[in-house]
Amino acid sequence: MSDQFHDHGMQVRREVLGHEHVDAAVANTTEFTADFQDFITRYAWDEIWTRPGLDRRTRSCITLTALVALGHLHELEMHVHAALRNGLEPDQIKEVLLQSAIYCGVPAANAAFAVAQKVLVERGELPAPEAGPRS
């Protein structure tokens, strides 16, 4: 399905999530999931992520918090990458996760810190943690 709304949504989706992620999602689209892929491309990426009221950095902060609150760690990993692409610094991501700990719960934030640290280390934004006994 292609029209100006889908095409613009796909452009924004690629800018935020990266070509590799979007290419994989497109490649894995089936007849069963095609309508859902079209739906999120049009509404999430063309309608919501492009609204003038918030910039992409702020939208990334909100998205990270929502994913922590709901425990969607796979999506959180993807959106940590997106937050960096949208201009957030690792320390700002840390602040979002600390804020989330208060309002979403410490266990949710603990899991989120593990995911975010993994992404940040993989991208070279943080040094790898030293192996050793855990207290």
114 and 63 in one domain? Answer: yes
Structure tokens at 51: 């609204």
pLDDT above 90 (res 128): yes
Q: In which band, very low, low, confident or very high, does the pLDDT at 131 lie, cut at 50, 70 and 90?
A: confident
Considering only residues 107 and 132, tell me which one the structure prediction assigns the higher pLDDT.
Answer: 107
How many domains in the chain?
2
64 and 44 in one domain? Answer: no
95 and 43 in one domain? Answer: no
C-alpha–C-alpha distance, residues 119 and 113, integer Å: 10
C-alpha–C-alpha distance, residues 46 and 120, integer Å: 28
Write out the residue range of the structural domain in which residue 29 sits: 1-51
68 and 43 in one domain? Answer: no
63 and 9 in one domain? Answer: no
Pick from 62, 67, 52, 55: nearest CA to 15: 55
43 and 5 in one domain? Answer: yes
How many percent of the chain have pLDDT more than 90?
Answer: 94
pTM attached to this predicted model: 0.89
Structure tokens at 26: 């497109």
* Three-state DSSP state, 87: coil
pLDDT above 80 (res 133): no
72 and 34 in one domain? Answer: no
pLDDT (tens digit per residue) in 22-43? 999 999 999 999 999 999 999 9
pLDDT (tens digit per residue) in 65-84? 999 999 999 999 999 999 99
Structure tokens at 128: 């790898």
Is 131 within the bounds of a domain? Answer: no
C-alpha–C-alpha distance, residues 32 and 116, integer Å: 32
